[in-house]
Amino acid sequence: GMRKLALALFGGSAKPSDAELEEAGASLVNALEMMGFLSAKADRAAVQKVGRYVVGAFKAQQRGDAVDDVSATVGTELQGLVDNGEVSFPSIFTLVARAYASIDGISRSLEPDFDFAKACEPFVGKLIQQEYEQQAAKQREAWAEEVRSVFFAPRRTAYIERTVRSMQSGDIEIRSRSTKGEAALARLERRGDSV
Half-sphere exposure of 121 (CA within 13 A, CB side): 6
74-119 pLDDT, tens digit per residue, is 888 888 888 888 888 777 777 877 888 888 889 889 998 888 778 8
DSSP code of 172? S
Evaluate if residue 159 carries a pLDDT over 80: yes
Are the C-beta atoms of residues 24 and 62 closer than 8 Å to each other?
no
Residue of 45, 51, 49 whose CA lies nearest to 24: 51
Q: What are phi and psi of 38, to 5 degrees?
A: -135, 135
In this structure, of 44-53, 75-84, 90-99, 165-174, the range with the lowest mean pLDDT score is 90-99
- Dihedral sign computed on CA atoms, order 72, 78, 82, 83: positive
Are the C-beta atoms of residues 56 and 103 closer than 8 Å to each other?
no
Give the chain's largest Cα–Cα span. Answer: 105
CA distances from 49 to 63, 72, 154 (A): 21, 13, 48
Evaluate if residue 195 carries a pLDDT over 70: no
| DSSP-derived 3-state class of residue 154 | helix
How far apart are the C-alpha atoms of 141 and 156, rounded to whole Å? 21
pTM: 0.51
Residue of 137, 132, 129, 128 whose CA lies nearest to 5: 128
Angle at 143 between CA 140 and CA 144, to 5 degrees: 85
Residue of 3, 56, 8, 10 whose CA lies nearest to 29: 8
Are the C-beta atoms of residues 54 and 77 closer than 8 Å to each other?
no
pLDDT at 155: 81
